Amino acid sequence: MISIVCPFYNEQDVVEAFFGRLVRVLDDTGEEFEIICVNDGSTDNTLLGLLAAQGRHPGVRVVDLSRNYGKEAALTAGLDIARGDAVIPIDADLQDPPELIAQLIEKWREGFEVVLAQRVDRSTDGWFKSHSAGWFYRIHNRLANVQLAENVGDFRLMDRCVVEAVRQLPERRRFMKGIFAWVGFRTTAVEYVRASRLGGASKFSGWRLWNLALEGITSFSTIPLRVWTYVGLVVALASLAYGAFIVAYTLIHGADLPGYGSLLVTVTFLGGLQLIGLGVIGEYLGRTYTESKQRPIYIVRKIHEQKT
């Protein structure tokens, strides 16, 4: 059996179309499926839509979370209750074409444990999103000790063994792309063209994306934390050299008063540098703090199973 896992957050406009297209594709493959819909605290009629769809289509399970926990947590909830031999997370807005599922399964049958769906172009994402994404991947892969495949979202197929591995990672702050990459396994990719959103609006604004990027880098790299030793070393050495220069200069030319400008620049520059350093420590400390509280990643209000 294959599990489809889909997080829904205020997606009432697309629920029907989503099931219409997904179910048609799944029927064509001839495999056995379950469709796990995680309602991530939607404030619109998404849940009603999901329950209606459950009445119409077999194999639909609806997980209703107690509030909005974010896509990463919703996905985790879906992976936790999935029972399939392979699991495919997919977005509700049909930006990930369900038609690709047949190809994902085909590669899986060939023996790959992870089959990524890779976008060949991001033109539907707009200039800012695709460029900032490019920068994020470059910086992340430079800093972190797991390499993220570029232009790959959460849409992919994972074998049961991969899902079990992912579930062993206990962190509360979940950067799924990184977690998926971290567990490794035999991986291949199939390509697709990403469509634009079917309806509704994207839930990932600039600020949310920025935070996701921070999450990614701080989850898988400690370089931002450690780099300050070296920055400090360089600044200290430079100021030592400058001190030596002043001593020599004073011995040769005598003391003169000017220097107010350079003094102010040095003080403010160093002040800024220290604040940045503190901020970075704060980022990590904050994360350590949330991890140490050991709160569950999500709370389920109810799992609506199919009535038989």
- List contacts with ligand UDP (CB under 6 A): 7-9, 11, 40, 68, 70-71, 74, 91-93, 95, 202-204
Size of the site for Mg ion (CB under 5 A): 3
Interaction of residue 13 with Mg ion, rule CB under 5 A: no
Minimum Å gap between C-beta 154 and ligand UDP is 8
Q: Which stretch binds Mg ion (CB under 5 A): 85-93, 110-118, 134-142, 297-305?
A: 85-93
Minimum Å gap between C-beta 14 and ligand UDP is 8
70 binds, among Mg ion, ligand UDP, none (CB under 5 to 8 A by kind): ligand UDP
Site for Mg ion in 92-111 (CB under 5 A): 93, 95
- Of 214 and 280, the one with the shorter C-beta distance to ligand UDP is 214
8 binds, among Mg ion, ligand UDP, none (CB under 5 to 8 A by kind): ligand UDP
Minimum Å gap between C-beta 109 and ligand UDP is 27
Interaction of residue 10 with Mg ion, rule CB under 5 A: no
Q: Which stretch binds Mg ion (CB under 5 A): 83-91, 172-180, 230-238, 290-298?
A: 83-91
Minimum Å gap between C-beta 38 and Mg ion is 15
CB neighbour list of residue 274: distance below 8 Å, 6 or more residues apart: none
Q: Which residues of 72-104 are buried (b: 16+ CB within 10 A; e: fewer)?
A: bbbbbbbbbebebebbbbbbbbbbbbbebbeeb
- Of 91 and 215, the one with the shorter C-beta distance to ligand UDP is 91
Minimum Å gap between C-beta 98 and ligand UDP is 13
Minimum Å gap between C-beta 67 and ligand UDP is 10
CB neighbour list of residue 75: distance below 8 Å, 6 or more residues apart: 5, 7, 38, 89, 154, 174, 176
Minimum Å gap between C-beta 93 and Mg ion is 4
Residue type, 134: G
- Of 68 and 141, the one with the shorter C-beta distance to ligand UDP is 68
- Of 75 and 165, the one with the shorter C-beta distance to Mg ion is 75
203 binds, among Mg ion, ligand UDP, none (CB under 5 to 8 A by kind): ligand UDP
- Of 91 and 159, the one with the shorter C-beta distance to ligand UDP is 91
Minimum Å gap between C-beta 194 and ligand UDP is 9
71 binds, among ligand UDP, Mg ion, none (CB under 5 to 8 A by kind): ligand UDP
Give the residue among 227, 231, 215, 229 at the shortest CA–CA distance from 140.
Answer: 215
- Residues within the interface to Mg ion (CB under 5 A): 91, 93, 95
